[in-house]
Amino acid sequence: VITLEINLDSIRNFVQLRKNIGTSGQPTSEQFRLIAEAGYGHVVNLATPDHPDSIPNEGQMITQLNMSYTHIPVPFDAPSPKHVKHFCGIMSILSTEQVFVHCIMNYRVSAFMFHFLNKIEGNSEAESKSEIFDWWSPDTVWKDLLKWTSTKIGL
């Protein structure tokens, strides 16, 4: 038996956040093939389609790789509680799946995953933080978002 080791570390800011949840910045078209080969069945994209690094036909490409796709475009300068609530709902539905979540730099994703892991899955704040927070210094918009309560988000 040959074991195929898929290395996702080449993807921008890749973090294997949980056994079934990988997160990153924007993967390339070729890296989406690696994501599919690694066993992920669903991709959630939080990037806006107007960013220069976004892939215009990403949803089509992902479905051609036999993965499902959810796009929640979140403006980096204006995330809303509705965005976080929608994201938490999607992640709850996909809780038993292998899910790959990305944005452009893995900042939006890390902040949204913090709320999902803390408020939906009941992990402590420390357990809910991605290693991205070890070096990312969120601006005021994102510092405020990280303080949102379940009530503010509508959970």
Q: Write down the pLDDT at residue 2.
A: 47
pLDDT tens string, the chain, 155 residues long: the values are: 544 456 899 999 999 999 999 999 999 999 999 999 999 999 999 999 999 999 999 999 999 999 999 999 999 999 999 999 999 999 999 999 999 999 999 999 999 999 999 999 999 999 999 999 999 999 999 999 999 999 999 99
E strand residue ranges, the chain: 15-18, 21-24, 42-45, 68-71, 99-102
**Secondary structure element (H or E) that encloses residue 140, with its range:** helix 140-146
Give just the sign of the alpha carbon dihedral 130, 131, 134, 136.
negative
Name every residue whose Cβ is closer than 8 Å to that of residue 41 and which is 6 or more positions away in sequence.
Answer: 67, 68, 97, 98, 99
The pairing of strands 68-71 and 42-45 is: parallel
Q: Write down the pLDDT at residue 7.
A: 82
Contact 31, 18 (CB under 8 A): no
E strand residue ranges, 66-130: 68-71, 99-102
Q: Write down the pLDDT at residue 140.
A: 97
In this prediction the pTM is 0.94
Q: Residue 40: which of 95, 98, 102, 90 has the closest Cα?
A: 98
Rg (CA), the chain: 15
Q: Write down the pLDDT at residue 135.
A: 95
